Structure formats: structure tokens, C-alpha cells
Structure 1
Amino acid sequence: MQNLVTGKTLLSWLAGDESLGDFGVGPSGDQSISQVDYQYGDLRCVYLYVICLGIYLITTINIYPLLSQVANFPFPTLPEPTALVEAERCLKVLEALDSKGRLTPLGKAMAQYPMSPRHSRMLLTVIQIMQKVKDYSRANTVLAYAVAAAAALSLSNPFLMEFEGNYKDPDGLKQDEKPGSLESEPDLGKEKRMRIKKLKETAKVSRAKFSNPTSDVLTVAYTLQCFELSGKPLEFCNDNTLHFKTMEEMSKLRRQLINLVFNSKLCDSQQDFSWHHGTLEDVECAWRIPSNKCPLQLNEEILGKAICAVWVDRVAKRIKNVSSLSESDRKVHAVQYQACLVKEIVFLGRRSSISKSAPEYLVYTELLHSKRPFIQGATSVKENWLVKYAPSLCSFSAPLSDPNLITTH
């Protein structure tokens, strides 16, 4: 009945009942998305929820068939058509929609989670992969990290950077350009300079301590585990230059998500997305086993595949021939990559956990544009993963008459 209640709430809101304010569009009935959210936030969430609601109303109530077409949905403020097209494209890449725009069983399962479809897809992909694995002793640890990674992806980077020269606040100003900031003073005292230097060194050590050499996302997930096991969360954040409020929200979200994994009501067609390796208590027990290093060093490939499936349309390939770059780009102390979505060269900064290995292929969560575009949230991926999780984005040449004639470029 929760979907029906959601439908009535949405229809009342569309009818002009301003007292309702935001409307709960998630099938779980507890996720609110306002006009501002779908204009400036994640329109993919709204798109997915509207399709879920439309199918429910059509098949159960047999009214409002136009709800099955998001473009015809009576939004109070209509989103840009290009934004709807991009939302649909992304949901097709994530396999929440099929090639004809119809909701898939995976899409229905994704809509159970009040978060970005990318992040729910990552979590469900791990569950899918583990469905095919029998008697795996570390299965619950893998799920615990998948949930932590989904929570980490849903919030900003918790590693503090406001004392570093190229950090930008949301207003677009660098920290040293802000009035009253430490570095805006013409005569910065020796004591302040030493304090900033110490903070930078602490941040560098902190990132190295939690670093996972294959993924920035898994680095934050491990940081979250250490935060929760520390016993003194505020002191832990101060010692490791972490943003306390971000870590606190991340921890709360992790607990909400793990409860959703075990309490979501899935239909028969969605049984591939239910967990059979243990109980909620088993997963929490696995999560709370302390470790001096990331316990997924032998198992992160499962999570790497899931992250690849989610960000496969944001893949980048390392540029080996730097002689073709401009002189200014060659001077940048960062690894150069060519991303599939942009024509310009993008850079993998030294703060990334995978900067030392500089893999041939990686996927990323976003590009941070300062003087040059820098990759954020990088994860190393393999070529065959790209073919597996993004067949619609791959083009294949005709078979060779003689496989021995394969050449590399």
C-alpha cells in the first residue's frame, strides 16, 4: 500500500495542495524530492521514481496512462528536455531501463533505495555478483563495504582541504583568495605558516593511512569503518583532518542502507537482488572486525566491478605519449588521461589513492574544474569489465581472418 499512498500524495501535490510541501516519490515512502531538487539535483532519481509510480498506477489502478511517459508528466516546473534525455540515457546505461525506456527488474530494485540511481546500482551489482558465489567466507565483509561505499559516494569527500592552496569553496574562491583567510594576510606569521604546514603533513599521512591503491571510493569506505570503530569519533576526525559532520552523516546513511538491504520487499522477479549469505547481524559483525589495513585488499575486485558498472560512462584512458600534449599540460605534475565525455585532457592528481599506480583505464565520479579538469573519485578498472558492463557503449570491429595478425596501437 505504500506505493498507492505515494501516488495519492503526488497527485494531491500536482493538484495544487501547497500544504504538502515536498512530496515523497520513493516507493519506500520516505524520500522527499522538491521542485528545487529535480531542477538542480539528481533528475535521474525523479525520472526513475515517476516511471515506477506510473507503472504502479497503470497496472493497479488503471488510470493516468500518461505517467508512463516521463516527458508528459505534469511537473509544476518542467525540467529542460535535454535534462530528461540525459537522465534517460544514464538510466539505460545503468540498465534500470531497457532500450525502449521500460523499467527493468533491476530498475525496480534500485527505486527501493532513497539515493542516486548510480549508487543503488553499485550496491545491487555487488549483491548480484555474490548471488553466483557459494560458501564464500568473506561475503558479509564484501556487502558491508559495498554499503559503506554507497554511503561514501552519496556525500562529499570527508578529507579536509581548506588549508591547501588549490581548495575552492562552493562560492568558487580559492581559500587563499577569501577575505580574512589565513593565507590572505600579506604578512603571514611564522606560527601560522608552521600550523598550515603541519596540517598539510597530517592530511597527507592520513590519506596514506587509509589509502586503497585501487579506488578512492574504497579509501573513503575504509576510513568510515575506522571512524565507526574508533570509539572517539570527534577526536578521530581531528587527528586525521576529516570533516566530522560529513563522517557522521555517512555513518548514519550506512546504517540506513544496510537496513534497507534486509528489509526491502522484493517481488519474485527481483530475487537476484536479495542477500542470502547471512543476516543483518552477520554483516554488521563483519564490518566491526578491526583491521590495521583495508581488509579488502584480496577482494576489492568485486567492488571494483560494481563501481565500474555504475560509472562506466565516465571512463578515461591514460595518455602514454605525452609529446602530443601542449607545453603547459606537460608541465602539470599529474597523470594525463583522455575521458570519453570530454575532448580536453583530464588529470589524475597526486591526492588520488591510485595516482602511484596510474592504471591504463579508470572510471571517475566527477571532474573538478579549476585551472584544469582534475579527476575525482577514481577507481581502477580492467578492459574486459568495460565490455561486460557497457556493451551498448562499445563498438567492435569485424572478426579477424587470422587472430595471429592482432596488432597493438
Structure 2
Amino acid sequence: MLIILYFLKAQIEYYLHIYIIIYCVINYPIFFFKYLYELGWHTKGEIGITQPRRISAITLANRVALERGEVVGSTVGFVVKFLEKTSEATAIKYMTEGILLRELLTDPLLMRYSVVVIDEAHERNLITDIIIGLLKKVVSKRPTLKLIISSATIDAETFADFFKTNSSIILSVEGRTHPISIFYLSNPCADYVNEAVETVWKIHKKEAQGDILVFLTGQEEVLQAVSLTKDYMNLKDDNTLQPVPMYGSLTHKEQLKVFFAAEKGVRKVIFATNIAETSITIPGVVYVVDCGFIKVKWFDSDSATDQLVVVPTSKATAMQRAGRAGRTRPGKVYRLYTEEDFEKLPDRFPPEIRRCELSAMILNIKALGISNILKFNFPSPPPAKNVLAALETLHALEAINNEGNLTKPLGYFMAEMPLPPMLSRMLYMSGSMNCSEEILTIIAMLQVETVFAHPATGQGQIKARVAKRNFEVAEGDLITMLNVFTAFIENDQSKQFCRTYYLNYRNLNSAYELRQQLVILAKKHLNLPLKSCDGNVETICKCITSAFFLNAAYLHYTGVYKRIQEGLDLYIHPLSSLYTLPQPQYIVFTELIHTTKIFMSNITVIKEEWLAELSSHYYCKTSIQNNV
């Protein structure tokens, strides 16, 4: 008999609800329970727990190991992208959802697990929906597998309806919470980063002790807010505030700082992205400041590109953020928007599968032997036009053939790599083009946030801009990144070097670690030859073109760039190394950012003839010239 327990979790009052849990353990083979190991559920297989982000998987594994008096990697371990700490003794394994998806490629019935927990399912990201769709097949063929889907919002019925089993059970365990007071602005603010810092300062001066958690949209805003707060502290000669950043690409060591208590007499303020909404719980937080915006990827099927967009948050997200206050005592939430604007917010965002580019997802599903994507049973089916656009992209990248099957060896290589399809194709092509050493560096640099510091003060910004020119080249941003990384290594990964040239040491060090892990993966599993082109920049740029030819644009006579594929008007991003240089005729980019205009990010200068040479199956020379 198949029974699924959905557990709506808040702060768990373990002893208060233990009788409910024991009842479910006895009566239902699929359930949620934090202390599965103590109840012996690991004896017939591992307990696998997925998290939507690296930091939450690592943090939770460390916390559970600490509670057991062990070092992580023994009974409790974790596996995330490019990093693993497990052993033969590991019985509880925390992992990102992408890791479980890759394990499904080699173990379709997940025979190594007795229990699988899908945590934070309410986020409904792309991989969550794929995994839930696959697990529906798994539990139908392997009813002894215990499946737990944990959600922090009231949408458990959605999952229950999807699995369509009369023996499912929804268990709601409410945690003890304290009253929360919510405050709104009287009028909209023009700059929510500055408003957030000013609000923090007012809280610090007027409110009782308790740490402050500030939600912003991305790393750049977080670092800007930290810098502004330090400027306030210097101006006021006040050292009783400790600003701490929190975002996904921080190193593990830096991430742990948010959990450490501040010194006596010092208040901690954490500036965070939405990573702090549900993935982690930061002790001591009493005050929350919500900027009211969130950065999301949104797929435009007409241009066949993901666009990174900053949009107003949803009511569900606003409530999640507010829930971070009042965990230990009455809390206060300061929303940097009006109450009228809050009422206009959507209840929740559509699931990621309905608004994101799907080519990576389709690669993974096809690697599992599922040929008809539209007939695959998703919790929320993706739009057919998005599926078609993804199939066209994969066909152009030569990852699938005319019948829609994975090609050998390229398609299978791309499916095995834990990278976006264009990056995995670029890595594959680098082997035959003898520049894999350089391409591995570029890929690692693209996996972290910007390595260039952006000081908040005008004088600092000028110095940072001058320092950046030491690395900039006319070939574009990716070669500039390569130059930065090379100089970082040549200077022994020195923090002083980073300070001198206004570089972000954390992100450069993260890129170094990621590159090391990519090298191991390339050597051990993919048999990729590691070769250097010895500074031949044209070879590197051609390799980049061989993967990003779909993102090619040309300079129109009107002075704007137009994408060759459909003529979309595009602009060079102000942070690009090409922004102040004469505009090149042909370029490729890795990403579009939609703010006041549609800006191209991570640009590489190319030659027109490379498009016909490296992607003759997609472009022909005459069609390009006719567009100019």
C-alpha cells in the first residue's frame, strides 16, 4: 500500500508532537520525520534529504552531525555540486536536488535509499518538479520506498492531488511562534538599498537588542548594503553593529559566520538574498527588513532566452520573510513598500517550470530514457512553446538528433555534466580545440558572482574602475575573467593582491575551488584531455563561439545590437569591459539582464566568419549578411 505523508513544517516542537509522529511511523510507510535515524529507518538503506541550495545542504549536514557529536562525513554527510563529504558509514545524506536527479540517471529506482525527503518543496523550482514527477514513477514500482515531501506553505494539497493516492496523509505541525508587528512605508522609496541601511540604523538606535535580517535581491546589493553600513559606522564612530553578508556563492567558511553570535554589546545585521527565507534559520533574529523585490529568471520564448529580472515579490514570499522574525520572542518586520502595494502583490509566483528555460531539464529527462517530454507527468506541466524552444536549442547545440534522441558522444556528455548546456558544450569542444585549461577557468568564473568589487563611495568606485582596466581586453568579458584568475594564481591567491586591484577574494577563491573540482570531474569521469592553448586568445574565443553561437548579435546601423536569431534589440551592460570601448561588429553573450533595457552580460567579441565555420548547421553566411 502506497501512503505519502506531507508535512507542513514550521519550527518543530519535537516533544509536543511526538505522539503524532510515532502514530505515522507505525501506520504509514511514507512519512516525514526529522529524527529518522534514531528510529532505525537507515537500516534498510540511506536516508536522503534534498535541499534547493548548496548552503542549506551543507549547513544542515553540519548541524545534524554536530547534534550527534560527530564530524560531518561520518554518519551524516552531504553531496553538492563539485563537493562531497560522505563515507561508507554515511546513513543520512543531505544533497542538492540536482545531485538526486543525477543519481536517478544511474539508479532509476533509488535502491540505495530507504527514505527520500524532498525538503522546501514549496519553492517549486525546476529540479523539484522534475524529481517529484520521477518519484511518482519510482514509488509506483517500489512501494517500500518512503517518500516525504516537506512544505513550509499551505500547498500540500497540490502534491497530494498529483500523486492521486487515497492513502496519502497531510500532517500539519505548527511551531510555537511569537507575535509579529508589521510596519509599512507611508510612501514608496526610490532606492530600497539605501532605505534598508537607514532602516537598520534606526532599528539599531531605537529598538531593544536582537539581530536584524535584511532581504535584498542579489549579491551586489548585499555587498553594497554592507559597505554603506560600514560607512555609517565610521561616520558615527560606532562599532556596536556587525554587518554580515549572506548569499549563495559565499565560501562555506564565510557562510558559517551568520550563525555565530556577535560579541557582547554588538548587534548583528545580516544582509541576505532570498537564500535566508526558508533554507536556513539564523538564530537571534528579531527584526526583519524586506526590500519587497526578488530577482528571478524568466524565459522569453520569442527570443528563446532566460532573462534575469528584478520584480516585486509575492505575498507568499513576503510572509516567508516575515516569518524569520519572532522565532524566539516578539518580532518586528519593516516592509520597504506601502500596504497598498502589498495588497497588489500576486499570491505566489508560478512554478519555475512554467517560467524558465528548459533545455537542461530536457537533457536530464532524455538521459533517463524518457522520449516524449510533453507526456511526462509533471506536477505543473511546462508550456508547450517553452518545451519546443528548448528542443530547438538542444538540436542546434547538437545534443539531440532529428528524432529527439541524445547524440553520442556530445549529447550524453552534456547530460552528464552538472553545467548549463552551452557551458557543457563549450567544455566538450575545448578538448578538440586544445584549450580546455582556459575554458575550465572561464566556466569556473561564470559559476560564481562577480569577482570585481563595487565600492559604495564615489571615490572608491573610481579607483575600482581604474584597477579593472589592468585586466580588461578588447576581446571581451570572458577573456577579462581569464586574465583576472590567471593574475590571482600568479600572485599566490593573495588577499593583498585582491585589495590592491579591488577584486572579491571570496568569489575568486570560490572559482579556484570550483575549478579544482571540475578538473577532477573532467579527468576522472569524462576522459577530457587537459590542454592549454598557451595564450592563443583567438582559439579561446572560437571555442566560446562554438557553444554560444545562438547568442550572437551584430551591431545595427542604428547603433544598437540586434540578435541574429530574431532581431531583438540589445545593449552592452554598463559593467561590461566593452562598455567604454568602440563597439565591435559581432559578439556573443552568455546572459540577458532585463532592467530599463535588455542588456547583454559576459560578452565575447567574435568574427562573422566564425559563425558559419563553427555552426554551419545553424547559420549560413548569406543569412547573416542579409540581416546587417
TM-score bracket for the superposition, by shorter chain length: 0.5 to 0.7
Q: Which structure shows the higher strand fraction?
A: 2
- The alignment covers a number of residue pairs equal to 298
Partner of 2:583: 358
1:18 matched to 2:243: no
Q: Is the Cα–Cα contact under 8 Å of residues 576 and 603 in structure 2 kept in the other structure?
A: yes
Of residues 405, 422, 427, the one that matches 1:123 is: 427
Of residues 321, 339, 348, the one that matches 2:563 is: 339
Partner of 2:547: 310
1:206-250, Cα deviation, whole Å (9 max, x unpaired): 321111321211211221232344335444433333334332332
Which structure has the larger Rg?
2
CA distance in 1 between partners of 2:368 and 2:437 (Å): 30
Partner of 1:153: 446
Matches within 5 A, 1:10-409: 11-12=134-135, 14-15=137-138, 17-19=146-148, 43-54=358-369, 67-105=370-408, 106-130=410-434, 142-161=435-454, 163=456, 196-265=457-526, 274-275=528-529, 296=535, 299-319=536-556, 321-322=557-558, 336-341=560-565, 343=567, 345-349=569-573, 351-355=575-579, 356-395=581-620
CA distance in 1 between partners of 2:588 and 2:362 (Å): 24
CA distance in 1 between partners of 2:458 and 2:382 (Å): 46
Q: Which moved more, 1:215-224 or 1:338-347?
A: 338-347
Return closer, same or farther for 1:223/1:12 CA change in 2, 3 Å cut-off: same
Aligned with 2:428: secondary structure? Answer: helix
CA distance in 1 between partners of 2:548 and 2:621 (Å): 21
Q: What letter matches 1:249 in structure 2?
A: S
CA distance in 2 between partners of 1:396 and 1:202 (Å): 43
CA distance in 1 between partners of 2:377 and 2:627 (Å): 52
CA distance in 2 between partners of 1:363 and 1:347 (Å): 12
CA distance in 1 between partners of 2:627 and 2:374 (Å): 45
Q: What letter matches 1:125 in structure 2?
A: M
CA distance in 2 between partners of 1:221 and 1:362 (Å): 18
Q: Is the Cα–Cα contact under 8 Å of residues 367 and 373 in structure 1 kept in the other structure?
A: yes
Of residues 109, 112, 136, the one that matches 1:8 is: 109
Partner of 2:196: none
Q: Is the Cα–Cα contact under 8 Å of residues 562 and 568 in structure 2 kept in the other structure?
A: yes
Q: Which moved more, 1:92-101 or 1:115-124?
A: 92-101
CA distance in 1 between partners of 2:604 and 2:426 (Å): 13
Q: Is the Cα–Cα contact under 8 Å of residues 126 and 302 in structure 1 kept in the other structure?
A: no
Partner of 2:323: none
1:352-381, Cα deviation, whole Å (9 max, x unpaired): 334425221111112333323322111111
Q: Is the Cα–Cα contact under 8 Å of residues 214 and 380 in structure 1 kept in the other structure?
A: yes
CA distance in 2 between partners of 1:397 and 1:226 (Å): 41
Q: Unaligned regions of 5+ residues in structure 2, if any?
A: 1-101, 111-130, 140-145, 151-349
Return closer, same or farther for 1:364/1:205 CA change in 2, 3 Å cut-off: same
Q: Is the Cα–Cα contact under 8 Å of residues 361 and 382 in structure 1 kept in the other structure?
A: yes
1:2 offset after TM fit, Å? 6.5
Partner of 1:327: none
> TM-score normalized by structure 2?
0.43
Q: Is the Cα–Cα contact under 8 Å of residues 109 and 138 in structure 2 kept in the other structure?
A: no
Q: Is the Cα–Cα contact under 8 Å of residues 42 and 116 in structure 1 kept in the other structure?
A: no
Q: Is the Cα–Cα contact under 8 Å of residues 398 and 411 in structure 2 kept in the other structure?
A: yes
Aligned with 2:587: secondary structure? Answer: strand
1:91-124, Cα deviation, whole Å (9 max, x unpaired): 1121111233221121111222111111111111
Q: Is the Cα–Cα contact under 8 Å of residues 357 and 386 in structure 2 kept in the other structure?
A: no
Return closer, same or farther for 1:73/1:348 CA change in 2, 3 Å cut-off: same
1:321-344, Cα deviation, whole Å (9 max, x unpaired): 34xxxxxxxxxxxx6322235645
Aligned with 2:576: secondary structure? Answer: coil
Q: Is the Cα–Cα contact under 8 Å of residues 362 and 381 in structure 1 kept in the other structure?
A: yes
Q: Is the Cα–Cα contact under 8 Å of residues 38 and 46 in structure 1 kept in the other structure?
A: no
Return closer, same or farther for 1:111/1:20 CA change in 2, 3 Å cut-off: farther
Return closer, same or farther for 1:408/1:150 CA change in 2, 3 Å cut-off: closer
CA distance in 2 between partners of 1:390 and 1:147 (Å): 22
Q: Is the Cα–Cα contact under 8 Å of residues 431 and 530 in structure 2 kept in the other structure?
A: no
Q: What letter matches 1:157 in structure 2?
A: T
Return closer, same or farther for 1:342/1:371 CA change in 2, 3 Å cut-off: farther
1:20 offset after TM fit, Å? 8.1
Aligned with 1:7: secondary structure? Answer: coil
Q: Unaligned regions of 5+ residues in structure 1, if any?
A: 22-34, 55-66, 131-141, 164-195, 267-273, 278-282, 287-294, 323-334, 399-405
Counting aligned pairs with the same residue, the percent is: 23
Return closer, same or farther for 1:344/1:76 CA change in 2, 3 Å cut-off: closer
Q: Is the Cα–Cα contact under 8 Å of residues 148 and 224 in structure 1 kept in the other structure?
A: yes
CA distance in 2 between partners of 1:41 and 1:246 (Å): 26
RMSD (CA atoms):
3.5
1:300-355, Cα deviation, whole Å (9 max, x unpaired): 11111111122111111113x34xxxxxxxxxxxx632223564532225643344
Q: Is the Cα–Cα contact under 8 Å of residues 211 and 219 in structure 1 kept in the other structure?
A: yes
1:397 offset after TM fit, Å? 5.7
CA distance in 2 between partners of 1:15 and 1:3 (Å): 10
> TM-score normalized by structure 1?
0.63
Q: Is the Cα–Cα contact under 8 Å of residues 112 and 264 in structure 1 kept in the other structure?
A: no
